[in-house]
Amino acid sequence: MSRKPHVRKQYWNEPVMGLWEKAYLPEILRGLAITGGVFLRNMFKWVTGRKGALTTYYPEETRWDYAPANRGKHVLTRRADGSPQCVACNMCATVCPAKVIEIEAGFDPADSAHPKYPVRFEIDYSRCVFCGLCVEACPEDAIRMAKEVPNLPTGDRWTMWLGKEELLEWQPQSDVAKPYPPAPPRAAGGERG
Amino acid sequence: MIADLVISLVFIGYAISVLMGFGTILTWVERKQAAVMSDRIGANRAYIRIPFTNVKLVWWGLFHGMADGLKMLLKEDFKPRTYDWYAYAVAPWVVFTPVLLVFAVIPFGGALTPARLWEPLAAFFGDKTYYMQIAKLDAGLLIIFAFSGLPIIGAMLAGWSSSNKFSLLGALRAGSQMISYELVLGLTTLGLILIYGTVDLDAIVRMQSGTVLGFVPAWGIVYQPFAATLFLAAAIAENKRIPFDLPEAESELIAGYFTEYSAMKMGLFMFAEFIEIAIIGALFTTLFLGGYNLPYMTDAGFAFPGGAAVAMPHAAVVVTQLGVFLLKVFLVCSFQILIRWTLPRFRYDQVLLFAWKFMFPLALANLVVTAVVVWAVRA
């Protein structure tokens, strides 16, 4: 019984090497020239005060090419009188998958239309997943997500919380024709009293 | 007698601090050069804060080496349940010590006359001249090969005594690879020995300070460009670095023969590897790049090919030679790191084929051609 000779499998992309490639050394030198060239180019850039690296040195530097749909920060909208629109119903905190929203409700007997208001409204950005479910859940359009990205990264996770004051500090950039917060209604036709 | 002892101790201190310095700085150079070569920034977060101030010294990440050393010292020193505990414990030192010893015969400077350096030293040292080399041995090159063969034993001890299959495989690979390339390493330098007629490294360096054809510096790389290439390749294979890092191939063998080592024992292996880069740099400089001398430079000063000569004071010559040696070694180290971050790893059979079927015949052919040419020139 004769043994079948071993036939090496032929691949469609079998590399074909000429004598030049098989000599090994010239191709090695070519590779070294490429990497060495990149090294020298980047070093020259560094010496002349430019950046050769493609990486972003993150907290100090941020990328310019964030996606247009990126929403990196929450904002609390305000009523015409400047008070937060939030009624502290805790719906956003309930729906939040990362459980990052903490709300402490307060009672305001003077405002009969909105007796409940948030005393504390805090978001932990070290855990937030930016899913936007809080915006979906909000019945009052009190919480939205803005395009800006808060510069929070530090070595301490307890400094990565944003409170009510920071979240209320929102000035819309795109719709400057209307004043924000909206102008208070005229005293005569006012619904509040 | 006391003066000789003092000079020897000074040289030993200098050599050890140079090697340790290179070992530490090369960890940083390797990281940073790899980063710059691949359009990255590299490690630059570790800093030292000046006490009681808020001034943080970053210095392009130079302190990452310190952080790494600290980490290795503070990590758990894991001890595997091995039957040969003594061999396990001694293996890192068997790798590390010969690497340091090799430097003993490498000249890091020319002749040093302390009396000419500073007048008051004459009272103590007299008029003696010392060679800036820890041991000026006639058999310098042979000593180097004797010592650089020892780390093989350490690597094989480490792999054998770890009672780990990955370690054992790594040790087998290390043994076969290092022994194969040792041979090529020796054969490539034989051509130089034929040309210079000596194995005393200081004498080899002195012969390289002349010129060929009137203007080309008579460096070993000019006489033996082919042997220089083969030497560097074989030396990198000796050091078990990419593209020859089969013994510690991470993707195949975890960490090869030092898989079972942790904390500072593993650090010793790493440190030995980095110091060996510097040793290879020093050897290559000494044998092929004119050693501690600049082109056209001797212990007296410069003698340019046109006939112009510039005499230099003794102190200037000594400082120049020390600096030039360090610079050349650093450049060769940097070139090795460039190779390490450019080439992919060989396959195991390719490594041995490369040694025995490619480099070995080439080294032999180089030797034969050199012998014939030397015979023809001398006859």
What DSSP character marks residue A8? Answer: P
Determine whether the interchain pair B37/A31 forms a contact, defined as Cβ–Cβ distance below 8 Å: no
pLDDT in tens, A118-146: 999 999 988 999 999 999 999 988 898 98
**What is the Cα–Cα distance from A20 to A33, expressed in whole angstroms?**
16
Chain A contact present for B334, CB below 8 A: no
Chain B contact present for A16, CB below 8 A: no
Which chain B positions have a beta carbon within 8 Å of A28's beta carbon? 343
Q: What's the Cα-to-Cα distance from B17 to each of A188, B103, B259, rounded to whole Å? A: 88, 12, 29
pLDDT in tens, B64-103: 888 888 888 898 888 888 778 888 889 899 989 988 888 8
Which chain A positions have a beta carbon within 8 Å of B229's beta carbon? 25
Determine whether the interchain pair A31/B40 forms a contact, defined as Cβ–Cβ distance below 8 Å: no
Closest Cα in chain B to A44: B36
ipTM, two decimals, is 0.82
Q: B51: number of CA atoms within 13 Å, CB side?
A: 0
Determine whether the interchain pair B343/A28 forms a contact, defined as Cβ–Cβ distance below 8 Å: yes
Residue A181 or B15, more confident: B15
**What is the Cα–Cα distance from B157 to B160, expressed in whole angstroms?**
5
Determine whether the interchain pair A32/B342 forms a contact, defined as Cβ–Cβ distance below 8 Å: yes
pLDDT the model gives residue A185: 67
Q: Where are the beta strands (DSSP E) in B207-278?
A: 211-212, 216-217
Closest Cα in chain A to B339: A32
Question: Beta A143-146 vs B301-303: how paired, if at all?
Answer: unpaired
Burial of B272 (0-12, 13-18, 19+ CB in 10 A): buried
Chain A contact present for B37, CB below 8 A: yes
Task: Indicate the length of chain A as a whole number.
Answer: 193
What sign for the dihedral angle of Cα B68, B69, B74, B78? positive
Determine whether the interchain pair A35/B229 forms a contact, defined as Cβ–Cβ distance below 8 Å: no
Residue type, B16: I
Selected for mutation to probe chain B from A35, A41, A61 (highest B CB count within 10 Å) is: A35
Closest Cα in chain B to A27: B343
**What is the Cα–Cα distance from B127 to B116, expressed in whole angstroms?**
8
pLDDT the model gives residue A175: 60
Residue ranges of B 39-78 with Cβ closer than 8 A to chain A: 39-41
- H helical segments located in A48-147: 91-95, 133-137
Determine whether the interchain pair B37/A38 forms a contact, defined as Cβ–Cβ distance below 8 Å: yes
- H helical segments located in A48-182: 91-95, 133-137, 164-168
Determine whether the interchain pair A52/B39 forms a contact, defined as Cβ–Cβ distance below 8 Å: yes
Determine whether the interchain pair B37/A39 forms a contact, defined as Cβ–Cβ distance below 8 Å: yes
pLDDT in tens, A44-100: 988 888 887 888 887 777 778 888 888 888 999 888 888 888 999 999 999 999 999
HEC sequence for B121-152: HHHHHCCCCEECCCCCCCCHHHHHHHHHCHHH
* Distance in Å, alpha carbon of B226 to nearest chain A alpha carbon: 11
**What is the Cα–Cα distance from B169 to B177, expressed in whole angstroms?**
12
**What is the Cα–Cα distance from B152 to B238, expressed in whole angstroms?**
9
pLDDT the model gives residue B260: 86
What DSSP character marks residue B256? Answer: G
Q: What residue ranges do the domains of chain B occupy?
A: 2-42+75-378
Determine whether the interchain pair A54/B39 forms a contact, defined as Cβ–Cβ distance below 8 Å: yes
pLDDT band at A1 (very low <50, low <70, confident <90, very high): low
Burial of B190 (0-12, 13-18, 19+ CB in 10 A): middle
| CB contact set of B201 (below 8 Å; sequence gap of 6+) | B105, B106, B107, B133, B140, B141, B144, B286, B287, B291
What sign for the dihedral angle of Cα B106, B108, B110, B114? negative
Compute the C-alpha angle B256/B258/B263, nearest 5°.
140
pLDDT in tens, B51-61: 888 888 888 88
* Distance in Å, alpha carbon of B339 to nearest chain A alpha carbon: 7
Residue in B169, B164, B156 with CA at minimum distance from that of residue B262? B164
Question: Beta A161-162 vs A73-76: how paired, if at all?
Answer: unpaired
Closest Cα in chain B to A52: B39
pLDDT band at A187 (very low <50, low <70, confident <90, very high): low
Residue A33 has a CB neighbour count (10 Å cut-off) of 11
Determine whether the interchain pair B37/A32 forms a contact, defined as Cβ–Cβ distance below 8 Å: no
pLDDT in tens, B181-240: 888 888 898 888 888 888 888 888 888 887 777 777 888 888 888 889 889 989 988 888
For B116-134, give one letter per residue: b (16+ CB within 10 A) or e: beeeeeeeebeeeebbbbb
Tokens of B323: 């600096």
Which chain A positions have a beta carbon within 8 Å of B338's beta carbon? 32, 35-36, 39
Q: Where are the beta strands (DSSP E) in B226-304?
A: 301-303
Chain B contact present for A36, CB below 8 A: yes
Please give chain B's pLDDT, 379 residues, in tens. Answer: 788 888 889 889 999 999 988 888 888 899 989 998 988 888 888 888 888 888 888 888 888 888 888 888 898 888 888 778 888 889 899 989 988 888 888 888 888 887 777 777 777 777 788 888 888 888 888 888 888 888 888 888 888 888 888 888 889 988 888 888 888 888 898 888 888 888 888 888 888 887 777 777 888 888 888 889 889 989 988 888 888 888 888 888 888 888 888 888 888 888 888 999 999 999 999 988 888 888 877 777 777 777 777 878 888 888 888 899 999 999 999 999 999 999 888 888 888 888 898 889 999 999 999 999 989 988 7
* pLDDT greater than 80 at residue A177: no
Tokens of B334: 């940097």
| CB nearest A55 (choices: B41, B342, B343) | B41
Three-state DSSP class for B350?
Answer: helix
Asked if residue A94 lies in contact with residue A150, where contact means CB atoms within 8 angstroms, the answer is no
pLDDT in tens, A9-46: 888 888 888 888 887 888 888 999 999 999 999 989 88
* Distance in Å, alpha carbon of B379 to nearest chain A alpha carbon: 34
* Distance in Å, alpha carbon of A159 to nearest chain B alpha carbon: 19
Which chain B positions have a beta carbon within 8 Å of A61's beta carbon? none
**What is the Cα–Cα distance from B185 to B187, expressed in whole angstroms?**
6
| CB nearest B41 (choices: A24, A28, A57) | A57
Determine whether the interchain pair B341/A35 forms a contact, defined as Cβ–Cβ distance below 8 Å: yes
**Longest alpha-carbon distance in chain A:** 110
Domains in chain A: ranges and CATH: 17-54 (no CATH), 73-168 (3.30.70.3270)
Which chain A positions have a beta carbon within 8 Å of B35's beta carbon? 53
The distance of Cα B124 from the centroid of its chain, to the nearest Å, equals 34
